[in-house]
Chains A and B, each alone.
Chain A
Amino acid sequence: MITELGHFALILAFVVAILQSTVPLIGAQRGWAGWMAVAMPAAAAQFWLIALAFAALTHAFVTSDFSLEVVWANSHTDKPMLYKLSGVWGNHEGSMLLWVLILALFGASAAWFGGQLPPRLKARVLAVQGMIGVAFLAFILFTSNPFARLPLAPFNGKDLNPLLQDPGLAFHPPFLYLGYVGLSMAFSFAVAALIEGRVDAAWARWVRPWTLAAWVFLTIGIALGSWWAYYELGWGGFWFWDPVENASFMPWLLAAALLHSAIVVEKREALKSWTILLAILAFGFSLIGTFLVRSGVITSVHAFANDPERGVFILMILCVFLGGSLTLFAARAGAMQAKGVFGMVSRESALVLNNILLAVSAFVVFIGTIWPLVAEMAWDRKLSVGAPFFNQAFTPFMIGLALVLPVGAILPWKRGQIGRTLRPLRGALVLALAAGCLAYAMGTGRSAIGPVGAALGTWLIAGAAADLWQRTGQKGRARWSRLTRLPRADWGKAVAHAGLGVTFVGISLLTAGQVEDIRVAQVGAPFDVGGYEIALDRVEAVQGPNYRSTRATLSIRRGGREVAVLHPEKRIYPVQAMPTTEADIDNGLFRDLYLVIGDEQEGGGWAVRTYVKPFANWIWAGAAIMALGGALSLSDRRYRVAAGARRATAVPAGAAPAE
């Protein structure tokens, strides 16, 4: 009964979304206030209806209602409650429902908190948001209905894939979707602005927090996924340049670019049409990502639903939205008149450079991702593009970005001088060179990426500190108190940039200094890996809640002192008859010790794989710091958005506050 209610609510939401995408648009065109006002209740109603449908599906999972096909295929009565809940979005149908739920949530928030938006713009934004809703609700209802019933209800389900039964992965999809779908707001604003034919500082002030929020969520989602792959898959890698990973990385790069170009629109009213284009592309790449993941056109280790019909449907959605908005862009972009002028050496130019580097690197990732598809269609050759491609073609742009970032971050608006700007950065430069030399000395004979990355990372971190420091003025004592009173946005910017530096250090030192060892270990015969003495103490059979496990105990010593005792496992989940390898990791600030147990040997002993991974945790710590920086900036934006809107009513439109 509850299930049917959910299904009905979903159909109703579809109807409401159709209403939301047409009526306000006509109203805005004709200037009928009543028709425009339909958008707000419609957006709210659409959200609550989808929320109801989502709650109904959750109820089915929690009560293990196996008459539902998705529940039967992805759940089991013995599964822990957390994974019954995460099972709701651990499958194709449920995850699409979460997708539209978040989409509707963003639409509804724009309706609820968008009080200061001009009514015409608001109506158009919500209408475009409604159109995206229509497309995806149709996709769910017609190709992947989560409420499909089985004719005969089985006694028990097929269980969720054990690899997905993990807290890290339970929260990975919701965050990613919050990011993907959050970019739909930027897209809706961009299309609305194109219809309007006007972009101003107030518009950018609205787009920025949405983009920033989406970017923060994307950062967290990608980091969670990478962290999960690192500890769960047992290969010890953190990023594989897999098509599905790239699918989330391209929108991240473009969102980062959009974030920065929107600043220029807000503060200086320049780069308007470029910002609009970026907003369209960022969401377009979210859709492309969805298409790549769901259609299975490219072989990936993350096999989702390989259903051609669904792929074609998403491709159609992609073509309509990307094609439509780009056509609109071509027709209307000329109307976007830039106001601010800027010098060759200025913050604006630096942000343009940032945008070019980020957009081009996203383009490189895109080429690498779709190349297998192109090759198969054009030459009928099956191939894959491996990590060496991305390392060679993508890394140079990131190095360039890191080189100019600290300088660009403190260049003044309008016009600046390189010499004067570099002065506060002298300390950072010295530190960076020192860190590079240190990394070089520690890792003699290793890959050059270590010292280069360490130097760049330090340059970013110290540059961010210098940025904050020079914002406090010249006086000695008052500096500290000024530092604490700097706007949150300034702190956010510095923290996020420093986070990027931390990630740089982590990735480069891990890549350069990783030690790997595979061998057959005998109980009681210790062996050496990278200065650590590792002993296999015992291997025993253990029974878990829904699995059986073979658990090894290994102790690690260094210089006679015990560092850690680790328990890597091999598990078997009987319901899916699926074995999994559970690595055990001793996390440390400067290194991770990573142990995996393999096959039992016929002559006695076990295969053991050991990694020493320097600075591994810095990668995800950096991502967390970036997200924190974004959140700090967002907490500042909130009151500034309100203040800005009030100011916009007092001052004639277009008089941008000079900062």
Chain B
Amino acid sequence: MKGLKKKRRIQLIVAAMLALALATGLVGYAMRDGINFFRSPSQLATEPPRPGEVFRLGGLVEAGSLVRGQGETVSFRVTDGGATVPVRYTGVLPDLFGENQGMIGTGSMEGEVFVAREILAKHDESYMPREVTDALKEQGVYREAGS
């Protein structure tokens, strides 16, 4: 009885350890293409992405740059005050998307243009993605909401 219980306990620990090791391996493996780094337009120049790397670009949609209503592809420019990147997106934009609004897009660079696969929707108008806020603060152009 006693011996069997001890044996079971050891087997249990071994099985759990194996599962954990497997999980760690899988986590490490999946991290290779499951992680998207965040870059602001200014960071894009200093830390360029690998060719074809999928990353997240965030900033403000530059005033006067949004071209919508001409085909299914929308184009605009994203700025953080320091640098500006042209963006192309094919799809239906999130509801609260607009000029001078914060946005985060996931996608990759094609030449000089950021091609977004997905644009982060926000649920309410007072919300600004934290990364965007930080990026704007770094460039010294952040204003408190409502000001």
User: What are the residues of chain B within 8 A of A580 when measuring CB–CB?
Assistant: 95
Q: Mark B126-147, 1 if CB is under 8 A from A, else 0.
A: 0101110010000000000000
- B63: interface (CB < 8 Å): no
Q: Mark A380-396, 1 if CB is under 8 A from B, else 0.
A: 01111111111111001
User: What are the residues of chain B within 8 A of A367 when measuring CB–CB?
Assistant: 27
Give how many B residues have a beta carbon under 8 Å from the other chain's beta carbons.
Answer: 50
User: What are the residues of chain A within 8 A of B69 when measuring CB–CB?
Assistant: 599-602
Provided the pairs A364-B27, A393-B30 are in contact, do residues A581 and B125 lie with their beta carbons within 8 angstroms? no
Question: Which of B22, B27, B36, B70 is close to A603, meaning CB atoms less than 8 Å apart?
Answer: B70
Provided the pairs A518-B92, A602-B70, A607-B72 are in contact, do residues A389 and B34 lie with their beta carbons within 8 angstroms? yes
Provided the pairs A383-B36, A393-B26 are in contact, do residues A341 and B8 lie with their beta carbons within 8 angstroms? yes
- The answer to whether B30 touches A518 (Cβ under 8 A) is no
CA distance A518 to B89 in the complex (A): 11
- Measured CB to CB, the closest approach of chain B to A369, in angstroms, equals 12
- A397: interface (CB < 8 Å): yes
- The answer to whether A299 touches B131 (Cβ under 8 A) is yes
Question: Which of B33, B106, B130, B134 is close to A306, meaning CB atoms less than 8 Å apart?
Answer: B130
CA distance A233 to B123 in the complex (A): 9
Q: List residues of A (584-626) whose CB comes within 8 Å of B's CBs.
A: 596, 598-603, 607, 609
CA distance A473 to B131 in the complex (A): 62
- The answer to whether A577 touches B34 (Cβ under 8 A) is no
CA distance A352 to B37 in the complex (A): 38
Q: List residues of A (541-590) whose CB comes within 8 Å of B's CBs.
A: 576-581
- Measured CB to CB, the closest approach of chain B to A185, in angstroms, equals 26
CA distance A363 to B26 in the complex (A): 12
- B19: interface (CB < 8 Å): yes
Question: Which of B12, B30, B130 is close to A299, meaning CB atoms less than 8 Å apart?
Answer: B130
CA distance A234 to B97 in the complex (A): 14
- The answer to whether B23 touches A364 (Cβ under 8 A) is yes
User: What are the residues of chain B within 8 A of A299 when measuring CB–CB?
Assistant: 104, 129-131
User: What are the residues of chain B within 8 A of A163 when measuring CB–CB?
Assistant: 123-124
CA distance A602 to B69 in the complex (A): 5
CA distance A163 to B127 in the complex (A): 14
Among the stretches A53-61, A353-361, A504-512, the one at the interface with B is A353-361
- A416: interface (CB < 8 Å): no
- The answer to whether A518 touches B27 (Cβ under 8 A) is no
**Complex: chain A residue closest to B131, CB-CB:** A382
- Measured CB to CB, the closest approach of chain A to B65, in angstroms, equals 16
- B90: interface (CB < 8 Å): yes
- A638: interface (CB < 8 Å): no
- Measured CB to CB, the closest approach of chain B to A585, in angstroms, equals 15
- The answer to whether B26 touches A161 (Cβ under 8 A) is no
Q: Mark B62-74, 1 if CB is under 8 A from A, else 0.
A: 0000001111101
Which of A301, A353, A520, A602 has the most C-beta atoms of chain B within 10 angstroms of its own C-beta? A301
- The answer to whether B35 touches A389 (Cβ under 8 A) is yes
- The answer to whether A578 touches B92 (Cβ under 8 A) is no
Question: Which of B23, B56, B68 is close to A363, meaning CB atoms less than 8 Å apart?
Answer: B23
CA distance A577 to B124 in the complex (A): 11
**Complex: chain A residue closest to B73, CB-CB:** A518
- The answer to whether B93 touches A598 (Cβ under 8 A) is yes
CA distance A543 to B7 in the complex (A): 72
- A32: interface (CB < 8 Å): no
- B44: interface (CB < 8 Å): no
Question: Which of A389, A520, A602 is close to B31, meaning CB atoms less than 8 Å apart?
Answer: A389
- A443: interface (CB < 8 Å): no
- The answer to whether A393 touches B121 (Cβ under 8 A) is no
CA distance A443 to B24 in the complex (A): 33
Q: List residues of B (51-90) whose CB comes within 8 Å of A's CBs.
A: 54, 56, 68-72, 74, 90
- A338: interface (CB < 8 Å): yes
CA distance A387 to B34 in the complex (A): 7
CA distance A111 to B7 in the complex (A): 41
- The answer to whether A382 touches B38 (Cβ under 8 A) is yes
CA distance A363 to B54 in the complex (A): 25
**Complex: chain B residue closest to A596, CB-CB:** B92
**Complex: chain A residue closest to B55, CB-CB:** A383
- The answer to whether A296 touches B130 (Cβ under 8 A) is yes
User: What are the residues of chain A within 8 A of B35 when measuring CB–CB?
Assistant: 371, 383-386, 389
- The answer to whether A234 touches B92 (Cβ under 8 A) is yes
User: What are the residues of chain B within 8 A of A396 when measuring CB–CB?
Assistant: 26
User: What are the residues of chain B within 8 A of A602 when measuring CB–CB?
Assistant: 69-70
Q: List residues of B (7-56) whose CB comes within 8 Å of A's CBs.
A: 8, 11-12, 15-16, 19-20, 22-23, 26-27, 29-31, 33-38, 54, 56
CA distance A609 to B72 in the complex (A): 9
- The answer to whether B34 touches A341 (Cβ under 8 A) is no
**Complex: chain A residue closest to B25, CB-CB:** A393
User: What are the residues of chain B within 8 A of A599 when measuring CB–CB?
Assistant: 68-69, 74, 92-93
User: What are the residues of chain B within 8 A of A581 when measuring CB–CB?
Assistant: 92, 95
CA distance A87 to B35 in the complex (A): 36
Which of B26, B54, B93 has the most C-beta atoms of chain A within 10 angstroms of its own C-beta? B26
- A527: interface (CB < 8 Å): no
- The answer to whether B19 touches A360 (Cβ under 8 A) is yes
User: What are the residues of chain A within 8 A of B131 when measuring CB–CB?
Assistant: 299, 382
- Measured CB to CB, the closest approach of chain A to B139, in angstroms, equals 15
Provided the pairs A299-B130, A353-B15 are in contact, do residues A601 and B23 lie with their beta carbons within 8 angstroms? no
- A48: interface (CB < 8 Å): no
CA distance A303 to B123 in the complex (A): 7
User: What are the residues of chain B within 8 A of A389 when measuring CB–CB?
Assistant: 27, 30-31, 33-35
- B113: interface (CB < 8 Å): no
User: What are the residues of chain A within 8 A of B70 when measuring CB–CB?
Assistant: 601-603
CA distance A219 to B94 in the complex (A): 28
- Measured CB to CB, the closest approach of chain A to B70, in angstroms, equals 6
CA distance A519 to B37 in the complex (A): 30
- The answer to whether B123 touches A384 (Cβ under 8 A) is no
**Complex: chain A residue closest to B121, CB-CB:** A301
Question: Which of B29, B72, B74, B104 is close to A393, meaning CB atoms less than 8 Å apart?
Answer: B29
- The answer to whether B15 touches A360 (Cβ under 8 A) is no
**Complex: chain B residue closest to A296, CB-CB:** B130
CA distance A293 to B42 in the complex (A): 30
- The answer to whether B36 touches A341 (Cβ under 8 A) is no
Chain A residues close to B by CB (< 8 Å): 161, 163, 233-235, 296, 299, 301-303, 306, 338, 341-342, 344, 352-353, 356-357, 360-361, 363-364, 367-368, 371, 381-393, 396-397, 518-520, 576-581, 596, 598-603, 607, 609
A-B contact pairs, 13 of them (CB 8 A): A161-B124, A301-B122, A344-B11, A352-B15, A353-B15, A360-B23, A364-B27, A367-B27, A384-B35, A388-B30, A389-B30, A518-B91, A576-B124
- Sorted nearest first, the 5 A-B pairs with minimum C-beta distance are A389-B34, A392-B30, A382-B38, A393-B30, A598-B92
Chain B residues close to A by CB (< 8 Å): 1, 4-5, 8, 11-12, 15-16, 19-20, 22-23, 26-27, 29-31, 33-38, 54, 56, 68-72, 74, 90-93, 95-96, 104, 106, 120-125, 127, 129-131, 134
